[in-house]
Chain A
């Protein structure tokens, strides 16, 4: 136990130093610095999920900017949606959006969520996220870098 404490002290903080705060998005005042986020995988290849995991990991540590992943849309202020919206996920995505209390924000993460990416025109795909629910912010990239995801989340929290 003592060894563990010693190691924690020796290691110190490993998170990247905070880059300068980006410009706060339009939703930031209403959410006042603390944003609870529900993630919806609408048909992603899991590449974006890995990067989201990394954004909330110890290196990028998105939680220090007030963003937090939660387990239910009922607890959430914002949805982050990844992947092109497949036929099976179109209705659940709509219901998830309905379940989020107002005010609510939707972030489309990754090229697939923005414009279906490489899956555009595939038989199982309905369309990009913006065709199903209104999107407030987008993160480009296939997959997007964690820094980009963190920057988009900081746009929501304003911190």
Chain B
């Protein structure tokens, strides 16, 4: 057993051990023990993932552990990336959870489910056979469902979110099940190695890929199947939201990569065209919904849809290039996708943990009621600001680097492949990525500016308090990852590029220690020098400004004043111009009611503004289906109206029918 295996097994022991500890340890020390187990499992898994990325592969077969399929584990470099990312997120979430659990989340079920959830997250990318993958996938779904439902006693919406999540995750599971069983049926043995060896029948390969794309795509929150994501993420406890949003959704991407590139060996260009188009649509739609939303955690959930969309743009472009035989460009696009997975994990963990800290300190999720948190929650404000800067894809930021590599791949790929792909889809994808980046800036300026700066808009925000040290430590870990990835992405980039190159069968597409250099296409960029230049420019501006003589003056408030918190921008009003621009896409339902005094129509008594923004995809796609199911159920209810006589008649009729059937068929 090599270092990968030892670390992974130790991580799983810590995870499942933490689950047991959550059940048996007394309440006073339960959060500490469980948090320590989660963090230890995460750290060990990161070690295993890094070792796997470095080329230390490991596999094991335990045929006795599960009936029929047995358990096979195999960690390769591709799985290693996701293992490392999941582990790193778990470290921050575990430390953070120690303090966060004190607020009524230290019950047995929740504390036991958390480490099991982490362990199942680690098992999915380590699964080495179809049976193992399916079992781990379901374990992950059930554990996360338990955690989403953790606060069902406090809020009524949690139950509804849980139902949506349960149904959608299981429909996705059914799609994966169908796809992978069709694949396994062709090979007999379900292990990945055997599937890889087997010659693939092209007619079933398309079906397998589409089924897996639907199933894994729904887990990644890709467009028409994203409906669970903005529901479940806000209602789950915040460290669970971080795990789900920064680690679990990645596994959807992992599934698409594993099945498409590895098990099916590339496949037809239209597969990847579909992935790219879905990704681009999700990216734009997700960030648009985030830009006009005012629930902080829901906004972050939609931002997850956006970022997974960007990742899938990279995956789809990589698949298209690989299908057209351009392995170097394919490796470049995949490198961008994997780097964005890493960057997204870092900043989304930080943002969700900071949002949880705000929730802990104020009890608020509604941006319109926040504000003025900077003086009372300084650490959380810095953490959220750092996350928002990174998520905006502006330099210096990790997402800037990954989106830059992605755009390089898309721009340079315009000359390869079919006409449709190279001259229509790729330019449009470049536009979609650019639009997404712009909207992301607006979204996070809103979230940070409205949420944390200016004056408190409600009593709850005014009475906020900073979070306990363990929560701050969790945020600090995630923040360090954000800063590290922003300044020195070249530490992880060669490893990620090596993995991507291994998947497409070419060398690493990105090299360089200080300056990132793309191989195959011309393009260089140095994040470190960029950060240094920004720092120097900022210092110069600060020096010039501080030298000027300043006159202290009253803030100009039109001579009236004093200005109150009611005069501030709210999240809704800040997003209103954007909402107006995208009126046709968002189709908001809004209404302005002006009431007058009886004495004169010229005197306004009150102005009421109401706006409801429905998720339009959900409205058009899900509501008709739900209405049909409900109608079907209502029709079925006529059969069972509570009359005992009728039920007895059913029994009698069925018996008679069976007897007749037996006589006839005999």
Q: Taking beta carbons and an 8 Å cutoff, which residues of A are in contact with B? A: 72-74, 91-93, 95-96, 98-99
Within 8 A of A (CB), among B514-561: 553-554, 556, 558-561
A92→B560 contact, CB < 8 A: yes
Between A and B, how many residue pairs show CB distances below 8 Å?
Answer: 18
Nearest residue (CB) in B for A92 is B559
The answer for the CA separation of A98 and B561 in the assembled complex, in Å, is: 14
Residues of B within 8 A of A93 (CB): 559
Indicate which residue in B554, B558, B560 contacts A98 across the interface (CB closer than 8 Å): B554
Nearest residue (CB) in B for A74 is B556
Nearest residue (CB) in A for B559 is A92
Interface of B is mostly: loop
Q: Taking beta carbons and an 8 Å cutoff, which residues of B are in contact with A? A: 553-554, 556, 558-561
Residues of A within 8 A of B561 (CB): 95
Tell me the minimal C-beta distance from A89 to chain B in angstroms. Answer: 8
Residues of B within 8 A of A91 (CB): 559
Residues of A within 8 A of B558 (CB): 92
Residues of B within 8 A of A72 (CB): 556
The answer for the CA separation of A91 and B558 in the assembled complex, in Å, is: 11
Interface of A is mostly: helix
The answer for the CA separation of A92 and B560 in the assembled complex, in Å, is: 6
Residues of A within 8 A of B559 (CB): 91-93, 95-96, 99
A73→B560 contact, CB < 8 A: no
The answer for the CA separation of A21 and B98 in the assembled complex, in Å, is: 79
Tell me the minimal C-beta distance from B533 to chain A in angstroms. Answer: 32
Nearest residue (CB) in B for A89 is B559
Apart from A73-B556, A95-B559, what are 4 other A-B pairs with CB-CB below 8 Å?
A74-B556, A93-B559, A95-B561, A98-B554
Tell me the minimal C-beta distance from A114 to chain B in angstroms. Answer: 22
Residues of A within 8 A of B554 (CB): 95, 98-99
The answer for the CA separation of A99 and B559 in the assembled complex, in Å, is: 9
The answer for the CA separation of A1 and B196 in the assembled complex, in Å, is: 71
The answer for the CA separation of A99 and B560 in the assembled complex, in Å, is: 12
The answer for the CA separation of A95 and B558 in the assembled complex, in Å, is: 8
Q: Which of A74, A93, A95 has the most CB of B within 10 A?
A: A95
The answer for the CA separation of A74 and B559 in the assembled complex, in Å, is: 12
Residues of B within 8 A of A99 (CB): 553-554, 556, 559
The answer for the CA separation of A93 and B559 in the assembled complex, in Å, is: 7
Tell me the minimal C-beta distance from B276 to chain A in angstroms. Answer: 46
Nearest residue (CB) in B for A101 is B551
The answer for the CA separation of A95 and B555 in the assembled complex, in Å, is: 10
Tell me the minimal C-beta distance from B557 to chain A in angstroms. Answer: 8
Q: List 13 A-B contacts (CB under 8 A).
A: A72-B556, A73-B556, A74-B556, A92-B558, A92-B559, A93-B559, A95-B554, A95-B559, A95-B561, A98-B553, A98-B554, A99-B553, A99-B556
Tell me the minimal C-beta distance from B93 to chain A in angstroms. Answer: 48
Tell me the minimal C-beta distance from A123 to chain B in angstroms. Answer: 22
